């Protein structure tokens, strides 16, 4: 029976989506709810899960093609013919066993003349014959356990490096418990255990790189743990090809086949040397130990020779590590890597940065006495220099929306200065008790969102939309405020629904939740839709103010500049006009002049300014 995969509704105003990547190919098996493809809309990028388990029979919409909501994307065979398929595959596998045995016998014949030798190879040749069958059926270990695979970690991420295993073989894990840490060129993240059980096998070791979808480990029930020790008995046949290799080419050809073997089968390679020590005495043939000793000889020095210069400028360092070093002023050439062969890891840079801070601790006293200028941070060239890369789907969508907004609206910007000294004092007084009570940090952002939302109630013209085709204006009765977030993939704008009805704590929690989703790739289409007004905190990176672009279907956007302490003339009740150091910031309002006049913009900004400068938030902060 065939099951159709259709494009679901991905948001309130989303009518179509573009297929950016198929995660499965035709003929591959897919499980129910397993990510099947990636789809991009003008709101968000997301994965479409498989509606049923089975075989991907047909792909109807190719990558980079756009279809409407409800369109058929693919067809899945739900497995009505599945029982016959494995049987058909098992038959060739069984037939290949006799072929493998004769192939192994000629190679084994010239090796030893002992009577025990024919017996040992005959049992070992069965293991390779079973191995392909086991792999076709997702592995012997998978039969009694669940595979842990490397998930998709971003739109353009194709591989990841295992930085640390948080559990060892034989240890118990619970579902969703962090199992390992993975590093990509975009982000470091933890991979949770898909099920509860015992970690039976680690397939990919630390500092090894695997592609998305690759098997990393196997988790089974507690009773399966002893079976894991027996499971590597099949890989023990790995020395057998090594023993056969010297039989055909005698001199230098022996190391050559040994090197590709681990490269072609990285999964059993780590387990084979560890478990092969026990079976090694079983085939008492003198030729077997010799290749086993010779095989590591060419393999081990090779990575060491390549990884030795990891601390030098010419060695490969992941963009993530390089960025971290730049931000912390760490010279990579002076860092000693603790990874395989001296590879520099993220933790090495962090340790070096902390050591530098500790060494520089007495520096302020010396600087105060000597009056020396602060040392300029080291600026390192980006690896993107001189490259031409394909524009990501997210970057294209952002660009198209910005061009559409600029070309469809009459935009201009008004700027106003705000004294937030009182607000910052209140925040500093309340931030510790607030964090303990509410479970989130108290940043200045919730105060700005609160003030902006309250002012929108008094100035609905700023919280409105022009319905161009109808020649009408909609004044919204709720304040759904989009918050611009600087994420790895680009600018994301999740929406705080009903911000005008939330207090400071509610806004702080929702802001932290949405920002975390944006940076972690967990935003849903609903999180990204429905904004009636937007706030962009351009000051978070030090900008004094910005002429931000009004998003499509909105009337205005508020930009928040950096907070700067500087001398300002104030009117003191006792001292009259005097100069004092104050916390100052700029607010910039970009608006669509077709709907909002300059006076409207100024009135709105003045209301926001009055709310912020009054700083009457004591009750909400518990002060």
* Burial class, 350, CB count within 10 angstroms (exposed 0-12 / middle 13-18 / buried 19+): middle
Residue 163's pLDDT is what?
Answer: 84
Residue 535's pLDDT is what?
Answer: 96
pLDDT at 96 over 60: no
Residue 186's pLDDT is what?
Answer: 55
Residue in 147, 486, 526, 593 annotated catalytic: 593
Residue 315's pLDDT is what?
Answer: 52
For range 244-250, the mean pLDDT: 40
pLDDT at 188 over 70: no
With cut-offs at 50, 70 and 90, classify the pLDDT of residue 108.
very low
pLDDT at 243 over 70: no
With cut-offs at 50, 70 and 90, classify the pLDDT of residue 313.
very low
DSSP 529-546: S--SEEEE-GGGGT-S--
Residue in 33, 176, 312, 597 annotated catalytic: 597
List pLDDT tens digits, range 282-298: 443 444 444 433 334 33
Task: Indicate if 407 belongs to the active site.
Answer: no
pTM: 0.47
Please name the residue that has the structure tokens 């994965």.
Answer: 47
List pLDDT tens digits, range 596-614: 999 999 999 999 999 999 9
Task: Indicate if 597 belongs to the active site.
Answer: yes
The count of other CB atoms within 10 Å of the CB of residue 424 is: 18
Distance CA 351, CA 336 (A): 10
With cut-offs at 50, 70 and 90, classify the pLDDT of residue 185.
low
Domains of the chain plus CATH, in order, are 2-77 (2.40.50.100), 138-231 (2.40.50.100), 294-366+378-390 (no CATH), 393-621 (3.30.559.10)
With cut-offs at 50, 70 and 90, classify the pLDDT of residue 331.
confident
pLDDT at 242 over 80: no
List pLDDT tens digits, range 378-398: 888 888 889 898 888 778 888
Residue 453's pLDDT is what?
Answer: 96
Please name the residue that has the structure tokens 């037939």.
Answer: 95
Residue 458's pLDDT is what?
Answer: 96
Higher pLDDT, 492 or 472: 472
Please name the residue that has the structure tokens 């902006």.
Answer: 452
Residue 361's pLDDT is what?
Answer: 56
For range 320-339, the mean pLDDT: 76
Query: Looking at 401-469, which runs of residues are DSSP E strands?
Result: 411-419, 464-467
Residue 444's pLDDT is what?
Answer: 93
* Burial class, 222, CB count within 10 angstroms (exposed 0-12 / middle 13-18 / buried 19+): exposed
Please give the mean pLDDT across all residues of the chain.
75
């Amino acid at each position: 029976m065939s099951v159709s995969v259709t494009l679901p509704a991905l948001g309130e105003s989303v009518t179509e989506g573009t297929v950016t990547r198929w995660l499965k190919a035709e003929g591959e098996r897919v499980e129910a709810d397993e990510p099947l493809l990636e789809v991009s809309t003008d709101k968000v990028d997301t994965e479409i899960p498989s509606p049923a388990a089975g075989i991907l029979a047909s792909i109807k919409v190719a990558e980079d093609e756009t279809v409407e909501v409800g369109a058929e994307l693919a067809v899945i065979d739900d497995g009505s013919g599945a029982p016959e398929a494995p049987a058909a595959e098992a038959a060739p596998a069984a037939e290949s066993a006799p072929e493998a045995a004769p192939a192994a016998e000629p190679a084994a014949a010239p090796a030893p003349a002992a009577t025990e030798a024919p017996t040992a190879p005959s049992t070992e040749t069965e293991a390779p014959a079973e191995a392909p069958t086991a792999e076709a059926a997702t592995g012997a270990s998978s039969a009694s356990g669940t595979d842990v695979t490397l998930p998709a970690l971003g739109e353009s991420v194709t591989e990841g490096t295992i930085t640390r295993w948080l559990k060892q073989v034989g240890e118990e894990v619970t579902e969703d418990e962090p199992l390992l840490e993975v590093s990509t060129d975009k982000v470091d993240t933890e991979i949770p255990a898909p099920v509860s059980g015992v970690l039976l096998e680690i397939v990919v070791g630390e500092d090894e790189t695997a592609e998305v979808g690759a098997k990393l480990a196997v988790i089974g029930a507690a009773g399966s743990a002893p079976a894991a020790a027996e499971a590597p008995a099949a890989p023990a046949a790995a020395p057998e090809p090594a023993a056969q290799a010297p039989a055909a080419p005698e001199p230098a050809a022996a190391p050559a086949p040994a090197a590709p073997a681990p490269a072609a089968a990285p999964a059993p390679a780590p387990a084979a040397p560890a478990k092969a020590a026990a079976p090694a005495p079983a085939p008492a043939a003198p030729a077997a130990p010799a290749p086993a000793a010779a095989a590591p000889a060419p393999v081990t020095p090779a990575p060491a020779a390549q990884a030795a210069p990891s601390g030098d400028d010419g060695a490969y360092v992941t963009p993530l590590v390089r960025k971290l070093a730049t931000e912390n002023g760490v010279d990579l050439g002076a860092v000693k890597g603790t990874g395989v062969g001296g590879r520099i890891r993220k933790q090495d840079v962090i340790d070096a940065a902390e050591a530098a801070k500790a060494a520089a601790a007495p520096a302020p006293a010396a600087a105060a006495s000597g009056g020396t200028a602060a040392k300029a941070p080291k600026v390192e060239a980006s690896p993107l220099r001189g490259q031409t890369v394909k524009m990501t789907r997210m970057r294209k969508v952002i660009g198209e929306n910005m061009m559409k907004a600029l070309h469809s609206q009459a935009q201009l910007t008004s700027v106003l200065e705000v004294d937030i000294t009182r607000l910052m004092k209140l925040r500093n007084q309340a931030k510790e008790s607030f964090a303990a009570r509410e479970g989130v940090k108290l940043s200045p952002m919730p105060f700005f969102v609160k003030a902006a939302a309250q002012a929108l109630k008094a100035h609905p013209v700023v919280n409105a939309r022009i319905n161009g085709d109808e020649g009408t204006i909609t004044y919204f009765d709720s304040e759904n405020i989009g918050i611009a977030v600087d994420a790895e993939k680009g600018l994301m704008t999740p929406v705080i629904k009903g911000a005008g009805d939330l207090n400071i704590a509610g806004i702080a929690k929702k802001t932290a939740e949405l920002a975390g989703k944006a940076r972690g790739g967990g935003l849903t289409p609903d999180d990204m839709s429905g904004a009636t007004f937007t706030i962009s905190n351009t000051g978070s990176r030090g900008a004094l103010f910005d002429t931000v672009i009004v998003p499509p279907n909105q009337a205005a956007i508020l930009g928040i500049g950096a907070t700067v302490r500087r001398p300002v003339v104030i009117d003191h009740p006792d001292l009259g006009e005097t100069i004092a150091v104050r916390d100052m910031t700029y607010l910039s309002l970009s608006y669509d002049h077709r709907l909002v006049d300059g006076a409207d913009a100024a009135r709105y900004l003045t209301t926001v300014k009055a709310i912020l400068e009054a700083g009457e938030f004591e009750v909400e902060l518990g002060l």
